[in-house]
Amino acid sequence: MKTSLVAVDFHGQGCADCAVRGFSVCASLDQFEMREFEQLSRRVSFASCETVFAQEDRSSCFYNLLDGVMRLYKLLPDGRRQIVGFVLPGDFVGMTTEERHGFSADAIGPVTVCQFAKLPFGRFADDKPNLLRRMNELAVQELNQARDHMVLLGRRSAEEKVATFLVGWRDRLVELRGPSNIVPLPMSRQDIADYLGLTIETVSRTFTKLERDGIIAILPGGVSLRDSARAEALAAA
């Protein structure tokens, strides 16, 4: 939970060769805007488990994940934790008009982000309807995911929760890296539990049940979807 930076590059090393150029916010910018935008950004790396920002921090920056995985979570005063999302490369994080973030973000494994100071970013975006529309699009998309997750948390059984998570996580990785039924799980069982509103023991038991039923195979660092049709059925149910 230290928050020291591990590496800093002022003004990135060019957006042109950025891995997430095509599908993040910046996709909405033209060549010239891009050049200007580049000046606002800064590449920053974090080591595994470092906190990128915390719930109570003043929200002075936005982040665009370039590499690695992050978890976003909220803590109750007594320490209960709810993970509200996992972040993959290309995802835009921290957008808010509030004074403080309202949730924390930390690195699951080493992470590189593209960081923007909120104020100059705001000034830059102010007269760029295409960028504003793109940000709207992203916010609405996240809102839809959030609502889907509410259904999961409020109305689904442990088995459905785990299956839904695995299928959803696979689908996100497929978008990013191409089709495969091998699903790497960089996050811990505790993270999965806190994402699904379960305990670590229930997650573990459910994994083994799914394995016994021939739906998945548990591998070191992930699972394989042996019977993705049945997994998807559980997820849809």
Please report, as ranges, the residues that interact with DNA according to CB under 7 A.
157-159, 188-190, 197-205, 207-208, 218, 220
- Tell the smallest beta-carbon distance from residue 62 to DNA (Å): 29
Closer of 6 and 117 to its own copies (Cβ) = 117
Residue 160, amino acid: E
Q: Which of 17, 98, 221, 229 binds its own copies (CB under 8 A)?
A: 98
Q: Which of 9, 36, 148, 175 binds its own copies (CB under 8 A)?
A: 148
Q: Which two tokens stand for residue 169?
A: 């996580």
Residue 112 near residue 68, CB atoms below 8 Å = yes
User: Which of 175, 160, 185, 187 lies closest to 72 in space, CA to CA?
Assistant: 187
Cα dist from 235 to 174, 195, 231, whole Å? 17, 15, 6
- Tell the smallest beta-carbon distance from residue 237 to DNA (Å): 12
Cα dist from 160 to 43, 92, 152, 174, 232, whole Å? 38, 28, 8, 21, 9
- Tell the smallest beta-carbon distance from residue 219 to its own copies (Å): 27
- Tell the smallest beta-carbon distance from residue 146 to its own copies (Å): 4
- 61-96-98 Cα angle (round to 5): 100
Give the alpha-carbon dihedral of 187, 190, 195, 197, to 10 degrees: 160
- Tell the smallest beta-carbon distance from residue 143 to DNA (Å): 25
Closer of 18 and 87 to its own copies (Cβ) = 87
Write out the residues near its own copies by the rule CB under 8 A. Answer: 74, 76-78, 80-82, 84, 95-98, 102-103, 126-129, 132-133, 135-137, 139-144, 146-151, 153-156, 194, 196-197, 236-237
